[in-house]
Amino acid sequence: MKVFTTRSKSQVLFLVLGFILCNISYSQVSGFNVDTLKNRRVVVIKYDGASFTGVLLSMDEREILIDEESRGRMYIPLHVIRDIREIDTNRETGYSMFSTRYFLTTNGLGMTKGDKYALLNYYGLEAQFAVADDFTLGVMTTWAAIPLIGSAKYSIHFNDNFHMSLGTLVGTLSWIKLDAAGILGYGAFTIGNYENNFTLSAGYAGVPFDGEGDQLLYSFWHAFSGWGLISTL
């Protein structure tokens, strides 16, 4: 009868754990439909944050083969890959998360899931998070934290050059008067792509108006409401 020592048991345990981890790594990526993505332009995102863009040529249980745009054909092990996405044709021309907004307002273009940014301005700060493709949640305020505003925006792409977004801003005077709140709904129509575009937007604000705090809040919301005509060419 063969007796397993403590050392041999540890070796067996490491082998089993290694086998399980390899299968987990493969299963995370093998969930992608290779037949759908094969011979299409994709972006491969690694766990360390590095990304590669090119045509997916093949994938097996160990690695993928991609014809990378700047490096040529290269193999990437599956266990280092966090995500594989087909490139959205609506985002190919000059895509940048900062192309989805102007200096003070937004437009009809959307962000890609996982993108996020923070802006520091002379009047305050703003942060936006893409929780899904074309759907973002954010927060904005002044350096005095008055008002404190949450935002939500969803973008719709009709074709490569016509986009629309629907969104809302919900805010309060925060520490001055928490119950002084308001909401603004808006729509933005954008013609063009992520490099050159023209936007027409309109919004309507609803604000309670029964005191000094509400008058101050009304002045903030009045600055955001109304019509806007903005172009970046």
Is residue 23 scored above 80 in pLDDT?
no
Instruction: Say if 1 falls within a structural domain.
Output: no
Span 130-159, mean pLDDT?
91
Whether 84 contacts 63, CB under 8 Å: no
What pLDDT is attached to residue 120?
Answer: 83
What 3-state DSSP class applies to 98? Answer: helix
Give the global pTM.
0.56
Angle at Cα 159 formed by Cα 153 and Cα 160, nearest 5°? 90
- Average pLDDT, whole number, for the chain? 75
Domain termination residue (choose one: 55, 87, 119): 87
Boundaries of domain holding 154: 91-232
Is the domain of 63 the same as that of 161? no
121 shares a domain with 19: no
**Cβ pair 224, 205 in contact under 8 A:** yes
Residue 28: what pLDDT?
43
- Residue at a domain's end among 23, 55, 87: 87
Count of the separate structural domains present in the chain: 2
Residue 109 falls inside a structural domain: yes
The structure tokens listed for 117 are 């940014």
Question: Are the CB atoms for 165 and 109 separated by under 8 Å?
Answer: yes
> CB of 138 within 8 A of CB of 151?
yes
Q: Is the pLDDT of residue 190 over 90?
A: yes
Q: 64 with 51, same domain?
A: yes
Average pLDDT of span 11-25: 49
List of residues 6+ apart from 195 with CB closer than 8 A:
93, 94, 99
